[in-house]
Amino acid sequence: MRKIMVAGNWKMNGSKAMVSSLLDGLLHGLGEQPGADVVVFPPFPYLPQAQEILTASDIAWGGQNLNPEEKGAHTGETSASMLLDFGCRYVLTGHSERRALYGETDADVARRFEAADQAGLVPVLCVGETLEERERGETESIVDRQLDAVLQQAGIAPFARAIVAYEPVWAIGTGKTATPEQAQAVHAFIRNKFASLDGTIAGQLRILYGGSVNGSNAADLFAREDIDGGLVGGASLTVEGFLSICHSVHSRD
């Protein structure tokens, strides 16, 4: 059975003091063998600090983005090998804030996803529709298009390891969580799409939900058949907020 994953996307938040107290708090609060795979995504400058604190723990860490090129004249960018240098196992690709605020196209996201996979990182591919798109009834076609761009670039094989995060844009940072029914419907759509390509991969693929996940709604979301955990923004910035989500996971074994 797919193990639940709880991932904290810190976005552009943090300080040395905050990183150390947050991670120490998580290490103490999670206990031995948490029921979920737990991952944090700090801003780049704090990756060495995360590595130092989390090495030899059950908590993994990753980058919030990467550049698909190996190295060279790309001021301000970070490569897969740099993330690997600091022990990252995961990397976010195609977060809606990258798409909306920094102009990442489906093609850009696909290249980043492929570069991450080829370098040995586990890409977390974020997809999701805006409110206008949902209201126009386009949720499935938008998610389909975002997935197809990556499938055409990288093929199905990387999804034996990669993770998909369904994050409706209207639910991110708004306090408006998708209902478990709404989220489950899109997750089932995503899994069915993969099933039409490769049944084994589809059955193993972890599909996280993201968008205003908190300690009060996580258990209901994670109880749905095709919701394999959460990608958490705001609530991942405090020890209590993140732990309450991690502790609402019931083992699926």
Nearer residue to ligand PGA within complex by CB, 167 or 202: 167
Cβ-based burial of 3 (10 A; exposed 0-12, middle 13-18, buried ≥19): middle
167 is catalytic: yes
Minimum separation from the CB atom of position 45 to ligand PGA (A): 20
The tokens describing 175, both together, are 């306090």
Q: Which of 79, 29, 32 is CA-nearest to residue 57?
A: 32
Nearer residue to ligand PGA within complex by CB, 100 or 157: 100
Catalytic residue among 114, 129, 167, 187: 167
Nearer residue to ligand PGA within complex by CB, 201 or 233: 233
Minimum separation from the CB atom of position 196 to ligand PGA (A): 27
Nearer residue to ligand PGA within complex by CB, 158 or 230: 230
Whether residue 100 contacts residue 132, with contact meaning beta carbons closer than 8 Å, is answered with no
Q: DSSP code of 2? A: P
CB under 8 Å to 129, separation ≥6 — which residues? Answer: 138, 139, 142, 143, 168, 169, 170
Minimum separation from the CB atom of position 23 to ligand PGA (A): 19
Residue nearest to ligand PGA (CB): 233
Cβ-based burial of 249 (10 A; exposed 0-12, middle 13-18, buried ≥19): buried
Minimum separation from the CB atom of position 237 to ligand PGA (A): 9
List % helix, strand, coil for the chain (3-state, nearest 5). Answer: 45, 15, 35
Catalytic residue among 95, 129, 187, 247: 95
Q: Which of 36, 37, 40 is CA-nearest to residue 50?
A: 40
Minimum separation from the CB atom of position 121 to ligand PGA (A): 18
One-letter amino acid of 23: L
Contacts to ligand PGA by CB under 6 A: 9, 167, 172-173, 210-213, 231-235
What residues act catalytically?
95, 167
